[in-house]
Amino acid sequence: MSKSKLIFVSLLMATSYFFSSSMYAPGLPTIQASLETTAAMAQLSVSYFFIAVAVSLLLCGGLCERFGRHPVAKVSAAIFVIGSAICLFAGSIEVLIAGRIVQGLGVGGLFLLCRTVLQDSFSKQEMLSVLAWYGVLFMVIPGLAPVIGSYIDAIFGWRGNFVFMFLLSLMIFVFVTWGMKETRQQGHKASLTVKNALSDYWMIASHPRFISYLLLMICANSGFMAYQVTGSYIAKDLFSLSTESFGLSSTVLVVCSVASRIIFSRFMMNRVTENQTLAIGCGLQIMGFVVAVLSGYQANFSLLVAGFAIFAFGSGLVTTVAAATALYLFPDHKGQSGAVYGALQMAGVFAVTFVLSLLSESLVTLIEVLGVMTVVSVFACVYLLRPESDQSALSYQ
């Protein structure tokens, strides 16, 4: 299996997460009205998806080491098909949430393997380059997803988004089943025993540097998700903007994140150190938060978008380094490290979206959440920048 084909299959598996996680977010108010439920319940359809993804990641981490990548990918794709069908025909918010949980269980396995198959075939140096450009697509797709979703919602209603997800799940199942080959070189049967699995997971999850990189990823992704979930209500209720207009505002965040990854890949990767990149990215996150605070004082939506866009630019630099470095801290436990990394990342995003569902859909709430994400990111960055850190100031070369 050529590396270019492997990258294509990996990207296709990744789309399962990016489209299913945020595509329908601009239509949450429509779902609330259609299913005669509350805003909190509608937002829980997002929150429970993330916890299902986290559970699936932990389960699939050991399974893919024992049985291989290909079988787990096929089963995960089939589950994604079933979950999408349940969401499509949901007649109540409870059924929709149940469908989202099933979707999450399938998506978790696909999202884990989209990285693991690359780790099987690329060195860390190659992965830095791949992830930089991969990251561009990873931001374009989730950035375009709510834009596409907003137009589908406006034209076909909220179920139209789940028609899209259902067709996507079928396509992924076909390509994974007949277009993907096994990439694992050697299995680890001990991964399937509860004792060894828990031991491996604890070894990974308790590693200070791993946790620091993970926190950087959680803060970056949660900032974007907070904008998608709470921002859709703010745009409609406070600024009287249409669903389509809010969807388009997301493209600004995407452009900034994409630009930061391109700049990193073309100008920074071979010229600056890992620590310098983290410091620059974290500094931009702080700047973005300050601008967002100003938007709160002036009740200015454009300024709010600008603040989140600056935060997204900084996050693009931070996550490129964090993702590649964290996954290579445990070269003999690729499946398990990817599982813990993804599961805790999803759990973190779940916690943020769950808290958002309990809070009022206000501009102040959104800015406060961004502030918390910025503070946590700063603390994680400071820890990684310590002189005594075991991998400090290493060049990408």
C-alpha distances (whole Å) from 360 to each of 31, 52, 91, 297, 366 are 18, 25, 26, 18, 9
The reported pLDDT for the residue numbered 74 is 94
pLDDT for the residue numbered 290? 96
Beta strands in the chain, from DSSP E residues, in sequence order: none
**Do 314 and 289 contact (CB within 8 A), yes or no?**
no
The share of the chain scoring above pLDDT 90, in percent, equals 34
pLDDT at residue 246, rounded to an integer: 82
For the chain, give the mean pLDDT: 84
* Rg (alpha carbons) of the chain, rounded to whole number: 20
Residue 388: band (very low, low, confident or very high) from pLDDT cuts 50, 70, 90:
low
Residue tagged 């994974």 (tokens): 176
Phi then psi dihedrals of residue 360, to 5 deg = -70, 150
Q: Are 104 and 51 in contact (CB under 8 A)?
A: yes
Task: Give pLDDT, residue 283.
Answer: 96
d(C-alpha 289, C-alpha 311), whole Å: 7
* Residue 396 domain-assigned (yes or no): no
Given a contact cutoff of 8 angstroms between Cβ atoms, the answer to whether 12 and 143 are in contact is: no
How much is the average pLDDT of 14-32?
87
pLDDT above 70: residue 83: yes
Is residue 188, in this structure, part of any structural domain at all? no
Selected residue with higher pLDDT from 380 and 140: 380
Print the domain residue range for 346: 3-177+193-384
- pTM of full prediction above 0.75: no
The total number of structural domains in the chain stands at 1
Asked if the structure places residue 182 within a domain, the reply is no
What CATH code is carried by the domain that includes residue 90?
1.20.1250.20
In a domain, 297, yes or no: yes
pLDDT over threshold 70, residue 123: no
Angle at CA of residue 354, ends 352 and 359, nearest 5°: 90
Q: How confident is the model at residue 26 (pLDDT cuts 50, 70, 90)?
A: confident
Residue 397 has pLDDT above 60, yes or no: no
Q: Is residue 166 part of a domain?
A: yes
∠ CA 302-303-308, rounded to 5°: 100
What are the pLDDT digits (tens) for 236-245? 888 888 877 8
How confident is the model at residue 303, as a pLDDT? 93
Cβ-based neighbours of 284, under 8 Å, separated by 6 or more: 310, 311, 313, 314, 317
Q: What confidence category does residue 192 fall into, taking pLDDT thresholds of 50, 70 and 90?
A: low
Contacts by residues 86-94 (CB-CB < 8 Å, ≥ 24 positions apart): 87/162, 87/165, 88/159, 88/162, 88/163, 88/165, 88/166, 90/35, 91/35, 92/35, 92/37, 93/31, 93/35, 93/37, 93/41, 93/42, 93/45
- Min mean pLDDT across 95-104, 145-154, 179-188, 217-226 is at 179-188
96 close to 42: Cβ distance less than 8 angstroms: no
Give the confidence band of 193 by pLDDT, cuts at 50, 70, 90: low
pLDDT of residue 185: 67
Question: Amino acid identity, residue 277?
Answer: T
185: in domain: no
Residue 124 reports pLDDT greater than 70: no
Helix axes 39-67, 334-358, angle to 10 degrees: 170
Confidence band, pLDDT 50/70/90 cuts, at residue 394: very low
Q: Say which range, 1-15, 22-36, 190-204, 251-265, has the weakest mean pLDDT.
A: 190-204
pLDDT band (50, 70, 90) for residue 395: very low
How confident is the model over 160-178, as a mean pLDDT? 94
Examine residue 392 and state whether it is found in any structural domain, yes or no. no
- In tens, the pLDDT along 308-322 reads 999 999 998 998 888
Give the pLDDT of residue 224: 82
Is residue 394 domain-resident? Answer: no
